[in-house]
Structure 1
C-alpha cells in the first residue's frame, strides 16, 4: 500500500498560481520587444538587448516550470 502512496506523491502536480504570472510576464516581454523592434527612426539597442536577455531567461524558466506540471 505504501508503494501506491509513493507513486501518487511523485506524480502530484507542481502547479502554483505564480506560474500564471510567469507566463503573463513572458507575454509582456514579447510585446515590449516587438514594440521596440518596430520603432522606426532610432532603435534603443540597450533596451532591445535587455529585453532579449530577459525573454531568454523567462522562456527557459517557463519551459522548466511547465515540464514540472
Structure 2
C-alpha cells in the first residue's frame, strides 16, 4: 500500500504542467506584439498605453519565468 501511494505521488509530481499554462504563454506573446506595435507607432504615440503594456508584459514575463523554471522544472 505504501508503494502504491509513493507511485501515485511520483506520477502526481511529474504532471506539474496545466493546460492553462499554454494560455499564459499565448497571452504573453500577444502582449509583446501589442507592445512592439505601440512603440513603433509613427504619427503619435499613446504613452499611457505603452506604459500599461510595458507593466503588463513585465508581470507576465515574471509569471512565465516562475511557471517554467520553478514549477515545470522544479
Answer yes or no: same fold by TM over 0.5. yes
Q: Which runs of 5+ in 2 are unaligned?
A: none
Higher relative CO (Cα under 8 Å, sequence separation at least 6) belongs to 1
Structure 1 stretches lacking a partner, 5+ long: none
Count of residues paired in the alignment: 68
Give structure 1 regions of 4+ aligned residues with deviation exceeding 4 angstroms: none
Partner of 1:57: 59
What is the TM-score of this pair, normalised by structure 2? Answer: 0.80
CA deviation after TM superposition for structure 1 residue 14, in Å: 1.1
